[in-house]
A and B are shown apart, each in its own frame.
Chain A
Amino acid sequence: AIRMTQSPSSLSASTGDRVTITCRASQGISSYLAWYQQKPGKAPKLLIYAASTLQSGVPSRFSGSGSGTDFTLTISCLQSEDFATYYCQQYYSYPRTFGQGTRLEIK
């Protein structure tokens, strides 16, 4: 199975900050990577697919980049509603695997 490793595991930031979360795959996955946002008590929400394509309706302050084994999710100007947990997921091969999550907290 492909292992997905996110860093950091948690992050404190303030409204207006720019933050970056990284995700590393244990083997190459081309651009078959998605990012999800999950708020407490809610289902995950797809933010980005194909490593850098914004899902319809997702604010443009979210962006993704990378290919192969190294990927990043950037939030350019944090809003209050962005404080949540973020997961990366590869869909290059089975089993599908998620990163362990990055909890983004208010500083």
Chain B
Amino acid sequence: QVQLVQSGSELKKPGASVKVSCKASGYTFTSYAMNWVRQAPGQGLEWMGWINTNTGNPTYAQGFTGRFVFSLDTSVSTAYLQISSLKAEDTAVYYCARDVLAVVPGDAFDIWGQGTMVTVSS
């Protein structure tokens, strides 16, 4: 079935880096964009940006430039989110979510990963 499976929870120290994976299955990976969404503890959903799975071109929302990097390995239908120089305020659940690529202006996020909890603590 169509699904996105994310890597497991991470506990990191401030200043470290983390790489979260999101493996797609059950559909053509390059037909759908991959979005990343953050949810801090007890808070709402915040869109971080997206990556075009055809071109590899990432787009970052304001507040997610510099330390955040989206990447792909299309050979294994996997998207990645890397966060460097981690801070305590990066503690959150990070979700990947797909939407259709070739639709303008876009589409809803119909399939979500299960989420990856990243905890930053000394």
Contact = CB atoms under 8 A, between A and B. Distances in A.
Interface of A: 1, 32, 34, 36, 38, 42-46, 49-50, 55, 87, 89, 91-101
Given A87-B45, A98-B46, A101-B45, 9 more contacts: A32-B106, A36-B45, A42-B114, A43-B113, A44-B97, A45-B112, A46-B109, A91-B106, A97-B47
Contacts of B47: 95-98
A92 B105 contact: yes
Q: Which 9 A-B pairs have the closest CB atoms?
A: A34-B108, A49-B108, A43-B112, A91-B106, A96-B47, A95-B61, A98-B45, A101-B44, A46-B110
Interface of B: 35, 37, 44-47, 49-50, 59, 61-62, 95, 97, 99, 105-110, 112-115
A34 B95 CA distance: 17
Given A98-B44, A98-B45, A44 B108 contact: no
A34 B105 CA distance: 13
A43 B105 contact: no
A99 B88 CA distance: 24
A96 B95 contact: no
A93 B112 contact: no
B105 A44 contact: no
Most central of B35, B45, B50, B59 by chain A CB within 10 Å = B45
Contacts of A38: 45
B63 to A, nearest CB: 9
B106 A96 contact: yes
